[in-house]
Structure 1
């Protein structure tokens, strides 16, 4: 906890409070963990900033799998021909 007080003096208590809250949620209380969380907070976008998927940043792998939608599997079509 002494390390948290030192960091709050340098970085500000709001940022360290946020990091301590995240550390408590994750169950991580080592000094290195707190520093890592503070580094992550500093490198991250502000809370509440909206990130929207677009053509450049899509999570979809492609649309080729949609071709088979609604079609019967080949084996099922062959077996119904009797």
Structure 2
């Protein structure tokens, strides 16, 4: 399924929780990979690893996959890996 968001919406595939933990929190994971962006998005690109509020945006499930639709302004930061 191809997604094409409008305006400043960003589509994120949420990362899976770390299953090596003995206790998995009820809070959803707050990071993921950008899979699509709207035409008015300025600072985020497809493929970026981003961090966001775990309860923001709109979660959409289709064909066994789940995506998070979120406004660009609600993304906290881009994770370029390694410090």
Superposition TM-score, scaled by structure 1 size: 0.25
- Return the structure number with greater relative CO, CA threshold 8 A, min gap 6: 2
Q: Going by fraction, where is helix more abundant, 1 or 2?
A: 1
Superposition TM-score, scaled by structure 2 size: 0.25
Higher radius of gyration, 1 or 2:
1
Q: Going by fraction, where is strand more abundant, 1 or 2?
A: 2
